Each structure stands twice: as C-alpha cells, then as structure tokens.
Amino acid sequence: MRKCFPVELVLLSLSVFVVHGAEVSEGGDGARLLSDVRARVSQRRYRMAREIALTALRSARPGLLRAELEFWVGESYRLEGDPEEAVKALYGYLSRGPSDGTGAICQCLCECYLEMGETEELSSLLSRAPCGSNESDWKREALGAAYFTAGRFAEARSSLERVRERGSTTWFTLGRLAFHDGNYAEALRCFEAARAREPESFDYENEIYVSMCLLRLNRLEDARERVGRILARVESPEPHLLLGRIELRADRMESALRAFQRAHELEPALSEAQFGLATALKRLGRTQESKEAFELFGKLHEKEEQTRREAYSLAQKHLRLKGGEAAQVALDISKRYLSTGDLENATSYAWRAVRHDPKNSRARLSLARSLALSGRYQAASVHYRKVLKNPLADTENRADAERELRDLVREHARSESDVREERK
Amino acid sequence: MTASKHLFRAASLVFVPVLLTVVVVAVWFMRESDRGSVPPANNCPLYFEEKKNVGLDGEIVSGSPDRLFIFESLGVGAALFDFDNDGQLDVLIQNAGTTEIRQTAGKRRVELIDGPGPKLYRQVQGGTFTDVTESAGVIGCGWGTGVAVGDIDNDGDLDFFLSAFGMNCLYINEGKGRFRESARRAGLDHRGLSSSAVFLDYDRDGWLDLYVANYINFDLDQPPNEGLPCRELDVSISCGPAAHDPATDLLYRNRGDGTFEDVTSQSGCALKRGAYGLGVVVTDVDLDGWPDIYVANDTSANFLWRNRCDGTFEEVALYQGAALSENAQGQAGMGLAVGDVNGDGWPDIFVSNYSREPNAYYESSGGGSFVDRSTPSGLGGTSFRDLGWGARFLDGDQDGFLDLALVNGHVHPRSAEIDGAIPFRQPGRVFRGLGEGAFQLVECETKGGLSVPRNHRGVAAGDVNGDGALDLLVTVLDGPPVLLQNSSPNRGHWIGFRLRGRSSNREGIGSRVEIEAGGLKQVRGVSRGGSFLSSSDGLAHFGLGGSQTVGEVTVVWPSGTRSTFGPFVAGSVYELDENGSSSGRAALPRRHKDRAGH
C-alpha cells in the first residue's frame, strides 16, 4: 500500500525537537531513550519501541520530549498494523490539549484513518481544532487522498490543487484523478512528476500507472519498456498482465501468451490472466486449449459477477444499518469479496465490520485473513492475536485464529519481524 | 447643476432604450445559438442541425423527476419508417410514464402511472409532421420502452412491435393509415421489462421473426432495497442492475399466419442465463448467410448468438472476443451499431457504455471473431465521461467511410452531485470515419444540433427531408423528440437502395448489399435494428465521395439468391427486386436530388 506521508518526512519534521528534547530532559536520558525507540522502529520491533516510549512517558515532563514519545506510541501501533490502537492512544494525547507534537500526531492519525478507510473521520479530524486549526500542505494532501479513496473526486481535486509544494504523493493522487477521468496524457504527466520528485526510489504503483497510461495512449513500445523495468525489480502478476495486454494489442501472440501464463502461475485465481491466456491461445490458433481456457475463465467470471451482485445489494443494506447489524452485513460483504480474491474490497469491508463492532471476533478474523492474503502479514498477525485475546470469541474462531497465525508464522517468518517475535 | 441634470435625463432617455435593445438582441442571439439554429461553421465536416417546429411536439415522459427506480432511466425509442407508403419517412415515438410509491402495511410498493402513450406522426408536405396517433388506431402500450419495425406479414406495409414494462404490443398495418393491436393474437404479449427488439429472419423462411431483449425482473410489489432508494456518496439514486435479477431474452418465430411461436428454449437462447439485455442488433458475423444476433448487456458480458443454421443458436461472444473489455470486465452495454467500418467486408460492432468506461469497438478479424480495438480506433476513450445510449454507423459526409453518431445522457438526475465531472444532460457525439477502422471525434466551433447537452436515449437514422443525406431522430428522457437534419457541408455523392424480396422477406431484411465505386468496395447489411430501443429506415445508403456512378451492385438475399444489378447513376434511391429487376425510380421521388457539392 502506498504511504500517504513517508515516514522519512515525519522523522525529518520531528528531528528538530529531538535534539531540543534532549536538552530539556534530565541528564540527556531523553535523547538516549528516543534514539532507542527510533532504533527499534527501524528494526521493525514496534512493540518493543512502544514499550520503551510508554515507560519513558511515565516520567517525562510536558514538553518536546513527551510530545515525541507520544507520537512514537501511536506511530509504532500504526506501523505494526494496528491503526485502531494508534487512534485510541493518539486521541488520548490530543485530548490533553495542544502540544509541540500535535502536528505529528495529527499526521499519524490521518494515516491511520486512511488505512482503515475512514474518510469521514479524517475530514472531521482536519476540520476542527487542534488538527484543523490551520491549513497546510500535508492536510490538503491527506484530505485529497481520503476523498479520492472515498470516490469524492471533485473534492479530492480541489484539495490537491491547493497543495503549494507538491510532493510525489500529491502528484500521484492527481495522476490517479486524471486517469480516472480518462485523461491519460495528463495522468502520465502527473505520474512522471511524482517519479521526478523521488528519482532514486522505485514506486511500484506509480510505475504500474505509468505503464497503464502508455497502454491507454496506445504507445505500445513505451509501455512495453516501462513494464520491462518493473519486471526487472518485481515479480508480481500485475506487470505480467499488463505486458500480456500490450503484446496482445501489438499482435505478438507468443509473448502475450508467456506473460499471461506467468501471471496465471503467480495468481491462479486471477480471472483476467485466464482471459488473456485464452485469448492469446485462440489467436495462436490453438483452438482446443483456448476453448478450455475460456471455459475456466467463464466459471471464474460467473462467480465474480454473482459476488458483485450480492455485494452490491448488501452494501446498500449496510448503509441503512448501525452497530452489530451493520458489522454483520459488512462481514458478509467482506467474505464474498474474499472468496473471489478481491482483497482490496474484502479488507475495506472487514475494517468496516470491525469498526462497527470491535468485539466481533468473526469480523476481526476476516480482517486478519484479508490482510494476510494481501501480503500484510504483520498487520494480519496483530488481528489474529486480538481474536485470541478476545474473551467473547467462540471456540471455533479461536481455533481458526490460532491455526492461521501458526501457519502465517511458519510460512512468512522471514518476511516479517513481528512474526519473528511471535516465534520467540 | 440643473442643466447637467437635464442633460443626464435626456441622455438616459436615449441610452436606456438602446441598452435594453442591445441586451434583448444579445439574449435572443444566445438563445437561438443554444437552440442550434445557427448554421454550421464551414470547418465542421459533420454537422446535424436541429429542426424545430416541424410538428414533433408530443412530450416524452419517461420516469418521475427523481428517477429512483432503474426502469425510469431507460427512456424510450423512436422509429423512422414510411407507414403509408407515400415515399416519405414518418415517425413513431414511444412513451412511458411516471411512478408513485404506495405504502401499505409498512411495505413500499411501486405504482406505474401511464404517460401520454406512443405518438405516430405522418410526414406531410414541407417536411413537417402531423399527429395521426388516434386516427391510425394506435391506442398505446402501457409503460413503453422500445420499438421495432418490420413487415411481418409481407403485405408491403410496415408493422411495428412496441416493447414495454408490462405487456408488449404488436401493431399490424391494415393499410389506409390504420393499425390494429394484435399482440395477444400473435402470441407476443409477454409481460415483463423488455427493452430493444429487432425483426430478423433467423430461419430464412421468408417471414420476419422477432428477438426481444429483456432487462430485469422488477417486482412492483417488492422493489429492491426494500423500496428505498440506493445511495452513493449520500445521494439518493436508483439501485443499479446488480440489485435486480436479470431477465432472459425472447426469440419468436413467425409462423407466417400472423402468429408467432416462442422458440426461446428450443433455439438455445434460454440456455444462457439472462444478463440485463438493453441493445440488440442482427448481423451475419461469419458471413455464412445466416443472421446472428448480438446483444449489449448492462454490466455483464455481451451475447453473440451464432446462428447454427438449423433453427438453433449458440452463445459465442466470449470465445469470439466480443463479450468483455480488454481487461476481462463486463461493461454497461447500452446501445449498438454495426457496419463494415474498415472496408474488409466483415461487420464490426460498436457498443456504447457507461460513463468512465470506454465505449467498445470490436473489429471483426474474420470468420466471426473479433478483436477489441476500442483504444486504437479512437472510439474507446474519447468520450470517457459520457454515458452512451443509441448509436448508428452512417456515412454522414458521404466520403465512402462510415461515421458514427452517438447520443449520451446520465441515468441519475443528481449525477453531478456524485461526480462533478459527470452531468445528467450530456452532448451527443459524432465520430468521423477515416477509413481503416480509425475515427476522429468531430469538435466544431458551432454549437447546437447534436452537441446540445440533453438526456438523449434512442437514435434512429433515415433521410427524412429527402435530400439524399441521412438525418437523425433522437429521443430524450423528458421533452419532445429532436429531429436533426444532416447539414454537413461538402458532402460527397450518394446512392441508396431499397430491396423488394420475393422468396425472401418483403423488405429484404438480412440482405447484404455490396457496391464498388471509385475503387472503394462498400457493404451494407439491410436492417432496421441496432442503436437503442429504436428502429431506423431500412434503406441501404452509401456515400460515394467523388464518384458519380456505381458500376455493379450485388445483393445477397436472405433466401441465398445472389443478384447483380447496375450500372447506376448517383443521387437516387433505386429499388432492387429479388426477381432480378431494378427500378430506376427514386423511392423518394419528390425531393431526391443529389446535392453533393461537386
């Protein structure tokens, strides 16, 4: 998932009062503690970082040091994949009134709301004190991103166009707006501008969008070259799919077939890969194989269509309900999307279910599953653990959570530090 | 002081009336300009100018203002046909109605309120129309949607079928300007929510059969979402197709005795589950001589019913590459146009889609297969914000290449509140064919005509004023229909053919007309269907560019007969008979003169 505010930026903005904080703390302990917290964060040992910060907070006096420690408590929750806890903690700190760290806390809260898809909460946060007391670029950027996610495109554009110093995130979201509008030349310009702001970093999503723009503009050779660059760094189904579509359009059937085959190998449930595969086979004259591939696609597609219909009706019902009932319907929707591999919607609705009813262990289990399948193992493990800690969780859910968490640890231990901690 | 006061008063007496006059004149000019009465600019190669005060003044009513139920946004269609055989095109406009919500015992029920009913207009001298609905015996058809025209009894005059939400209707032309409703007797009295329909002779027995696309199963007693509007970004809207069960289309076989047999099941057309059918067009995709059926389905894979030449069909759209978008998504297929766009002799298909979806252009790669060339053709993304409905390939500038007329309009009256870039009323578009399957959106300095934002739905094409160029008749959601006269400057020469079937159906529907002129081969399929809910004139119309003659014309009739005719001089409509004879008389003799600027 693309970061709305790079952590580096936040670190930079706080570095001023890091040094200053050390001066006001007793015997320079503050600086040492903060350095310890940051070291743990950079090692992705978020829980440990948070414990250090919480311990230090008990004796810290109001001031810059305290402000940064509070920020790190929230930020460590967020980075760990637990924006709910981050929100709780940060709101607690905000309720004590404005402090030197208010800006950073507000930024962290925005990040949390974006992750949970809480557009309304985010815009409400930024419309009142202390977070909304003045206008700034990061707030416009956050609102722009939130409005875009919520499908409020005019507001997103209005917010982003007021960003004075546009960073990569602003350009990226403006690019997505133009892409959504079908203005691919403008979108391409924005995505290239986003890239130019951070030339040394590789932004996967931005590169995918650049390639899609080139394809829509029918600049097939340029698109091919850009997808090649992505594939040199990342092996995922998406660029293979794109390459397949480019090659299909350019009548390079063998190459298209290889690309769709690779996408299919990487994600067998991906119906578009199956469709591309069948189309390329047909155009290569491999009739029987093509028919079989289309048949398989037809089954996947039919299931997706059915799910989409059911999800649509449930989503409308969900809008009419509140509390536990709303949670149940959101959970039903999430499960449907999960069954067709639509992880973005599955995660989004699982979050809604959890927000409606945080104690609903089935909702949380569904969220954990969606996150795990999206490759966000650390966040998934947080929610599996919450299921296990929930005294209201029934035996079946507990058993599922325990088993799935164990599997997660076994399969992805190397990729997530949090899971390493779990193993210990 | 007093003198200057007087001077000021005197100046005011002169100045104020002058100012008022200037303002009034300016406002009048602006209004006239909005009405499209300003003549086309010379730089506009394709222009359709609105003709006002021609007598087509009956209001179309299709839905209540809020349009909170999906069928209220469908709109209605229109037909251009010569029902009285006087050589001039007449007009039929469908009509719907409004809705009311009744709440009983806590349940919300939808009540349909009948609208003004369909209107039949006869063209009279001077290119104006007179309402003959009553005298013709056209008594209505409930909540109407589409219209299909065809000579179902081969008696030489045109009959029409009206699709509806409720019971469909069939009006048999009894001659002398009179019609008789006989859906029940004919076996076409299906009740449901039908949309577009088209006559075809699928079994090639010489009698026109009927395909009816059905949209959804809508239970008025149990509307979706418990009778409440759906919501998008807190805006109340009608629930989308996904909230409804799709309905299955119908195929009827004409027995030749005035009755039809429902052959949906035995033909195989029931094998495929319903999929929100909206548009339907008939064309022979594999050139095997048997008509195939293409259906635009809302939010789902489109259908291509391949005629198996034995009275049955198989659905092959997915396998033949004409079902989905390039990235395997079902789109909101609404209207359809078919024609040999790239001049290779194979029919290509255009499908209009929802806003923020590219329109689809499936180019035939031969043998009944298609390749999605929406983007390379220039038809895909060019009108990305538009929600497309009726569409028609026609050679508007008569240069020998098919152009595309497309009408648009959103389904949600409050669409701009959901997405500021998407208004409810949208302009129509004209794409100029450049040959080789490429199109360019025509953007003129002169506003008006088709480019006026309206809530367009159906479009039918035909030479209404008899000047040899194809004009457009457009329906809107609310308001009178719009007649758009082809006022494109510098049009090329033209020629038109009407067919007279003998062993084939009377109008030769389903025939293929091939010509060669100026080194360019052109093909037209004879059909009245396509577009959205509408029925065009059945004339095979060709633009000839600079050519003033056509050497040879070949007609492949539905019966399988192949006839050759010619040579012909441009600028007239000729009747080609299946018995091999051709009549030099123009079918529209009164004003048919080649007005090409050569």
Residue B36 has pLDDT above 60, yes or no: no
> Of B326, B330, B421, which is closest to A305 when you measure between CB atoms?
B330
Task: Tell whether B419 lies on the interface with A, counting CB pairs under 8 A.
Answer: yes
Of B231, B327, B421, nearest to A319 by CB-CB distance is B231
Q: What residue in B sits closest to A180 (Cα-Cα)?
A: B356
% pLDDT > 90, chain B: 80
pLDDT along chain A (424 residues), means of 10: 40 41 50 88 90 87 83 93 92 82 87 86 82 79 86 88 89 94 94 93 92 95 96 90 96 97 90 95 96 94 89 92 91 90 89 92 94 87 94 92 92 55 40
For helices A287-320 and A271-283, the axis angle rounded to 10 degrees is 150
Of A154, A308, A319, the CB nearest to B242: A308
Can you tell me the distance from the alpha carbon of B441 to that of B551, in angstroms, rounded to the nearest whole number? 33
Q: Which residues of A touch B370 (CB under 8 A)?
A: none
pLDDT value at residue A419: 42
Closest residue, chain A, to B231 (C-alpha): A316
Nearest to A81 by CA among A371, A389, A397: A371
What gap in Å lies between CA B243 and CA B229, rounded to an integer?
11
pLDDT of residue A413: 64
At A144 the three-state DSSP class reads: helix
Name residue B305's amino acid.
W
Instruction: Report the residue from A183, A184, A316 with minimal CB separation from B230.
Output: A316
B114 near B137, Cβ under 8 Å?
no
CA dist A71 and A74 (Å) reads 5
Give pLDDT, residue A9: 37
| CA-based radius of gyration for chain B | 24
Per-residue CA distances from B360 to A272, B282, B354, B384 (Å): 17, 17, 11, 11
**pLDDT (0 to 100) of residue A102:** 84
ipTM of the complex: 0.84
Q: Which residues of A touch B230 (CB under 8 A)?
A: 316
Helix (H, G, I), strand (E, B) or coil at B38: coil
Min distance B544 CA to chain A CA atoms (Å): 32
Q: Which two tokens stand for residue B357?
A: 């979806």
Determine contact: B417 vs chain A, CB below 8 A: no
Say if CB B452 and CB B407 are below 8 A apart: no
What per-residue confidence (pLDDT) applies to B142?
86
Interface residue B369 vs chain A (CB under 8 A)? yes
User: Contact A142/A169 with Cβ under 8 angstroms?
Assistant: no
A150·B420 Cβ contact <8 A: no
Ramachandran region, residue A98 (left: φ > 0; alpha: ψ -120 to 50; beta: rest): beta
- Chain B residue at shortest CA distance from A219: B376
Residues B301, A119: Cα–Cα separation, whole Å:
33
B233·A182 Cβ contact <8 A:
no
Q: Which of B231, B318, B384 sits opposite A316 (nearest CB)?
A: B231
User: pLDDT digits over B292-307, tens only?
Assistant: 999 999 999 999 999 9
User: For residues B85 and B156, is the Cβ–Cβ distance under 8 A?
Assistant: yes
- Rounded distance, CA B230 to CA B418, Å? 13
Chain B environment of A223 (Cβ under 8 Å)? none
Instruction: Give the gap in angstroms from C-alpha A346 to the nearest C-alpha of chain B.
Output: 18
For residue A337, what are its two tokens? 């999307």
Question: What whole-number distance in Å separates Cα of residue A362 and Cα of residue A384?
Answer: 10
Q: Please give the full DSSP string across A257-320, using - where no structure is assigned.
A: HHHHHHHHHH-TT-HHHHHHHHHHHHHTT-HHHHHHHHHHHHHHHHHHHHHHHHHHHHHHHHHH
Count CB atoms within 10 A of the CB of residue A189.
16
Helix-helix angle A46-59:A29-42, to 10 degrees: 160
B240–A151 C-beta distance less than 8 A: no
- Work out how many CB contacts closer than 8 A connect A with B: 79
pLDDT, residue A140, reads 87
Q: Token pair of A83, please?
A: 């924006």
Q: pLDDT tens digits for B431-472?
A: 999 988 999 999 887 778 999 999 999 999 999 999 999 999
Residue B327 to residues A265, B250, B513, Cα–Cα distance (Å): 18, 30, 35
DSSP class per residue in B182-219 = -HHHHT---EEEEEEEEEE-TT-SSS-EEEEEE-EE--
Q: Do B328 and A275 lie within an 8 Å CB cutoff? A: yes
How far is the first Cα of chain B from the last one, in angstroms, to the nearest whole number?
A: 70
H or E element that contains A79? helix A64-80
Q: Are strands B573-577 and B493-500 parallel, antiparallel or unpaired?
A: parallel
d(C-alpha B396, C-alpha B488), whole Å: 7
Span of A147-161, B113-127, B327-341 with lowest mean pLDDT: A147-161
Q: Does B125 reach chain A within 8 Å, measured CB to CB?
A: no
Chain A residues touching B301 at Cβ < 8 A: 301
Does B224 sit within 8 Å of A150, measured CB to CB? no
Measured CA to CA in angstroms, residue B250 lies from A253, B153, B244, B271 at distances of 38, 20, 19, 11
Contact A87, A122 (CB under 8 A): no
Find the residue in A nearest to B242 (Cα). Answer: A309
Closest partner CB to A182 (pick from B224, B376, B384): B384
CB within 8 Å: B356 and A313: no
Cβ of A181 within 8 Å of Cβ of B239? The answer is no
Instruction: Give the DSSP per-residue string, B350-399.
Output: EE---TTS--EEEEEEETTEEEE-HHHHT-SSTTTT--EEEEEEE-SS-S
At A201 the pLDDT is 86
User: How many C-beta atoms surround the C-beta of residue A365 within 10 A?
Assistant: 24
Nearest to B328 among A150, A272, A308 (CB): A272
For residues B445 and B183, the model is more confident at: B183
- Least CB-CB distance to B242: which of A153, A184, A312? A312
Which chain B residue shows the shortest CA-CA distance from A294? B319
Nearest to B425 by CA among B436, B435, B437, B412: B412
Determine contact: B598 vs chain A, CB below 8 A. no
Predicted confidence (pLDDT) at residue B37 exceeds the cutoff of 80: no
Task: Say which of A153, A182, A301 has its CB closest to residue B381.
Answer: A182
What per-residue confidence (pLDDT) applies to A399? 95
CB burial class (10 A; 0-12, 13-18, 19+) of residue A287? Answer: exposed
Contact of B438 with chain A, judged by CB distance below 8 Å, is answered with: no
Which of B 208-237 lie inside 8 A of A, CB atoms? Answer: 224-225, 228, 230-233
CB of B358 within 8 Å of any CB in chain A?
yes
Chain A residues whose C-beta sits inside 8 Å of any chain B C-beta: 150-154, 180-184, 215-216, 218, 241, 245, 248-249, 271-272, 275-276, 279, 282, 290-291, 294, 297-298, 301, 305, 308-309, 311-313, 316-317, 319-320
Minimal C-alpha gap between A304 and chain B (Å):
10
- Residue B26: its pLDDT value, please? 45
End-to-end CA distance of chain A: 28
What are the φ/ψ torsions at residue A348 (nearest 5 degrees)?
-60, -45
Cβ distance of B330 and A320 shorter than 8 Å? no
pLDDT for the residue B9: 59
Tell me which residue of A423, A421, A378, A424 sits closest to A48, measured CA to CA: A421
Structure-block tokens of residue A39: 């070291």
Q: Which pLDDT does position B260 carry in this prediction? A: 98
What confidence score (pLDDT) does residue B12 get? Answer: 55
3-state percent helix, strand, coil for chain A, nearest multiple of 5: 80, 0, 20
Would you call B381 and A150 a contact, using CB atoms and an 8 Å cutoff? Answer: no
Q: Mark yes or no for CB contact B420/A153 under 8 Å.
A: yes
Cα separation of B190 and A286, whole Å? 43
Mean pLDDT score of chain B, rounded to an integer?
A: 90
Higher pLDDT, B13 or A253: A253
* Preferred mutation among B225, B331, B441 to probe A, highest tally of A CBs within 10 A: B225
Q: Is A7 exposed, middle or buried (0-12, 13-18, 19+ CB in 10 A)?
A: middle
Q: What is the model's pTM?
A: 0.87
